[in-house]
Amino acid sequence: MDGDKAEQLARRHLKKAGLTIIECNYRCRRGEIDIIARDGDSLVFVEVRYRRQNSFGSAADSINQRKQARITTAALSYLQRHQLGETLPCRFDTICIAPNPANGLWRQAYHIDWLRNAFQANQ
């Protein structure tokens, strides 16, 4: 699986959970956001991580403070560009995808871990 397929899997997962996908792969000069979605009244900025194995840490561990800062900067850019103001509730989620070690007949090939409010913008 590559990054594009992981993001497709994440989008399907979010849609099944009732979120509306607004934009994918939003880029600005200082960062990128994999998925931007609506969850009720909230705007959700989603970082998707895929790991084949956890030898170098989990997918969630790879979202360090520097990466969080880049995502936060990109989110602020998106809010300004679309004139959404500061009153719109926003959150930062991560979707971590890994091969399912129990993969077999009738089991999904990948384990998806959706971490809502994975980090705050002021960290």
Q: pLDDT, tens digit, for every residue of 82-94?
A: 998 777 899 999 9
CA atoms within 13 A of residue 20's CA, in its CB half-sphere: 7
Q: Provide the whole-model pTM.
A: 0.86
pLDDT at site 62: 65
The answer to whether residues 93 and 113 touch, using CB atoms and an 8 Å cutoff, is no
pLDDT per position as a tens digit, 53-73: 554 545 556 678 888 999 999
Residue ranges per structural domain of the chain: 3-119
Residue 96's beta-bridge partner residues?
49, 113
The answer to whether residues 92 and 119 touch, using CB atoms and an 8 Å cutoff, is yes
CA–CA distance, 78 with 54 (Å, rounded to integer): 32
User: Structurally, what CATH architecture does the domain formed by 3-119 represent?
Assistant: 3-Layer(aba) Sandwich (3.40)
Average pLDDT, the chain: 85
Q: What is the DSSP string of 87-101?
A: -S-EEEEEEEEEE-T
Q: Which residues 6+ apart lie within 8 Å of 14 measured at CB? A: 21, 35, 37, 46, 95, 114
Strand order in the sheet with 20-28: 20-28, 31-39, 42-50, 90-99, 110-119
Q: Which residues 6+ apart lie within 8 Å of 20 measured at CB? A: 37, 38
Q: How confident is the model at residue 109 (pLDDT cuts 50, 70, 90)?
A: confident
